[in-house]
Chains A and B, each alone.
Chain A
Amino acid sequence: MNFDETACYICAKCTSGCPTAAYDPTFKPHVIVARSKVDHENLLEEENLWSCVLCKRCERRCPQNVSPLLIVTELKNESYKHCKDHVPKGFEVLIKLVKDTGLASREETIITADFDEFEREDLGLPPIPDINTKVITKALTELGFFDKICEESRSTSTEE
């Protein structure tokens, strides 16, 4: 993954192939790439960064070996670090889940088209193995995942 983020010549091939751009005309990967060099602070306020569906098509189409996806991802990482309001609330649920269970989704009872209900056991599937969540949470803490730099006006609390 050796991308050259300075090589963009704004051909917009990323945007013309972007599935999100097809539905949300305010989301333009080539504009994000261009603005990331000169308008970084304002980009961090862009709520529609989260409309990206992570399909990687922009990266695969780029004739200049730029990854618009990587730029969008880095902007999202920074938004999260700085407690921006636009970070989807769903992430709080995912973070709690990974701390509690080690996985990013909870075991569900599923309902079929005939309204029959099934759990793993009913289907003869073995239980999900025990996961050492203590070790995982400790590592994530030490790696700084829960340290956030929130503006003073907002709550300064960090996860944990």
Chain B
Amino acid sequence: MEPAFLNLGCKVPTSQYAFELSTRAVIKELNLPIEVQQEYNCCGFPFISLDKNAWVYLAARNLAFAEKAKRNLLPICNGCFLSYVEAREELLHDSKLRKKINNQLAKEGLKFTGKYKIVHLIDIFYEVRDEIKSKIVKNFDKKKIAVHLGCHGEEERNEEPIDGIPRIDKMMTIMRDLCIETDLYPTIHECCGAGGIISEKDLPFKMSGNKLVELIEMGYEGMATICPFCQSQYETKQAVISQIISKKVQLPVYYLTQLMGMAWGLDEETLGLHLNTSL
């Protein structure tokens, strides 16, 4: 793979520590040319609903830092991923906006040109699939775990998937490589609801709760995510969900990076498994 900056975003380094721990561990084991981006800020996505300039500026600043270091940008979070993909499109197709944003970036000696790519963890893991398989010391022996890629990790409308394989299929293939039993299910594309939390309504938790209930009823023994917002909705907030939908919901939810590390025999603390409240 080409060298990339791992952008930790906001949610992961401030509360979803298990994702940071397990991602750092997996990247190290795979010996990938990835460095944690040291100079960065919020990806701007929380402000997309308020002001286009603010959103695009915040995203562009991080893209420009990566560009300056001649690296692709690898956001750990799906929300950040989509923010960068969309902001990049806006900047490339709107020269007035690009000029306005670049005027600000120039004050720090930065510039956005769009020369470097925004890459997704799933595409990278799929690329090194053989390496992931070769490290397995203890497979999951057909444990039934549901895949949840997350809306903002899915390909855009009319977007050609990398290598012709959609990310959701890649994620399932990686899980199957670990000897996890996983298949399509009716609500596979159902949203975790995190994008609606700001409204302070019950709706986002009903959304995540009903999906968990359905998976439990279908006999799933767990769920795998790759996004801190999805994980927070399905894992961290399980107690809140149980209250809101008046039904005890309990399903172990893991980050894909934790599952990979488990199959490789890495210890619990390295993978932050002791921080998961649903296990």
Residues 1-24 (chain A) with a chain B CB within 8 angstroms: 1-2, 19-20, 23-24
**Contact between A55 and B151 (Cβ–Cβ < 8 Å)?**
yes
Given contacts A57-B151, A140-B54, contact A107 B46 (CB under 8 A): no
CA A140 to CA B100, docked complex, whole Å: 12
Pick the interface stretch among A37-45, A110-118, A149-157. A110-118
By a CB distance below 8 angstroms, the chain A residues around B53 are: 143-145
**Contact between B13 and A136 (Cβ–Cβ < 8 Å)?**
no
Residues 101-159 (chain A) with a chain B CB within 8 angstroms: 102-108, 110, 112-113, 116, 118, 120, 123, 125, 128-129, 131-132, 135-136, 139-140, 142-145
By secondary structure, the A interface counts as: loop
CA A110 to CA B193, docked complex, whole Å: 22
Q: How does the 8 Å CB contact mask read for B25-67 relative to A, with 1 for contact and 0 for none?
A: 0000000000000111110001111111110011001000000
CA A94 to CA B54, docked complex, whole Å: 13
**Contact between B100 and A143 (Cβ–Cβ < 8 Å)?**
yes
- CB proximity of A55 to chain B, nearest CB, Å: 4
Tell me, yes or no, whether B222 is within 8 Å of chain A by CB. no
A-B contact sample (18 more), CB < 8 A, given A1-B90, A2-B93, A98-B41:
A19-B193, A50-B49, A50-B196, A51-B199, A51-B203, A53-B194, A53-B196, A53-B203, A59-B157, A73-B49, A80-B49, A103-B10, A107-B13, A108-B14, A108-B15, A125-B13, A136-B58, A145-B54
Contact sample, A vs B, 10 pairs, CB 8 Å cutoff: A53-B207, A98-B41, A103-B10, A103-B14, A104-B47, A105-B14, A107-B15, A120-B17, A123-B17, A139-B57
CA A116 to CA B120, docked complex, whole Å: 33
**Contact between B51 and A80 (Cβ–Cβ < 8 Å)?**
yes
